[in-house]
Structure 1
Amino acid sequence: MTRELPDIDATEAEPTGATEAGYGGHVSQTLARVSRLHRLAGGRLLRPTGLCSGQEFLMMTLWDAGSVRQSELARALDLDPSTVTLMLRRLEQGGHVTRARDPQDRRVMLVRASERSYSLRPKVAETWARLEEHILDGLDDGEREAFARILMKVEKNLAAEEGEAGPERA
């Protein structure tokens, strides 16, 4: 049984299109929408690199760390190991990573960025710089600093709720 949603006059709807009033959590709902839009914008900007949104974090980790255990990569990215396995499979098919057994412990899979992938490093950095400027467009230096400081506090609050140490955890 399917029920249709009632028609709502566009002039009566909230400018954000969200139903914030009855659910308390205006900030949380806005943050969820901002997070989604950030991911979409990042994915659009990353498209020319051949990477999908989220893969750039994995690649940045590998570019900085060199060869790492797949399990350590999952921990560093705070992702489920099965998610990392799927990401690595796709990146390997694209020629961006290589995986090999650890010669010291054949049970362990070592992952590293391929030589070819290093050409993407400056493109990914440029993409993130462009995204950052897009996000902060219209904010003066003081507002940018305040925004960054507030976001770090929000991250710390959320990380504490999840039992993490926050940005310092790395």
Structure 2
Amino acid sequence: MNHLIIRLAHAHRATAATLLAEVNLYPGQELLLMRLWKTDGQSQTELANALNLDRSTVTRTVQRLEQQRLIYRKASATDGRATIVWLTAEGKRLRDKVDGLWDQLRELTLTGLTERHQTDLQRLLRRLEGNLRGSSE
């Protein structure tokens, strides 16, 4: 079972990488962008907490996305220690394309599963996650 879960995670990530390459993104970068599409202008600490990542990982991701001109950073007007991350116009324009790629990833992943199977799978995956996080969500 463990090997199957690992193989599934790797296959999912590899497929995501292939799809995201169409828009010059790597897996994980789209998650940070999605947080900003939901609420633009978040601190790097807020992003790290929301994505459950360490701050150094978020810093590297922010730097890469900034180099691609998808986001920019500014010092917080209210907290001199905080850096606020904002989407550029290009970063905002990328949203529909990434949403479409995520739809493709979902379709590829769930091919051949009935609605009932999808519902059951979602419930079971939540249960597995809860088990590993120490709760019965």
TM-score (norm 2): 0.94
Q: CA deviation at 1:53?
A: 0.9
Give 5+ residue unaligned stretches, structure 2: none
Any residues of structure 2 matched to 1:48-67 within 5 Å, and which?
48-67=22-41
* Number of residue pairs matched by the alignment: 137
Question: Is 2:73 aligned against 1:99?
Answer: yes
Residue matched to 1:71? 45
Tell me which protein shows more helix as a share of its residues: 2
Residue matched to 1:37? 11
Any residues of structure 2 matched to 1:20-169 within 5 Å, and which?
27-160=1-134
Root mean square deviation, CA, Å: 1.4
Residue matched to 1:24? none
Higher RCO by CA contacts (8 Å cutoff, separation 6 or greater): 2
Counterparts of 1:103 and 1:87 in 2: how far apart (Å)?
23
Counterparts of 2:28 and 2:71 in 1: how far apart (Å)?
15
Identity rate, percent: 35
Rg larger in 1 or in 2?
A: 1
Residue matched to 1:18? none
TM-score (norm 1): 0.77
Q: Once superposed, which parts of structure 1, at least 4 consecutive aligned residues long, lie more than 2 Å away?
A: none
DSSP 3-state at the match of 1:46: helix
Counterparts of 1:69 and 1:144 in 2: how far apart (Å)?
35
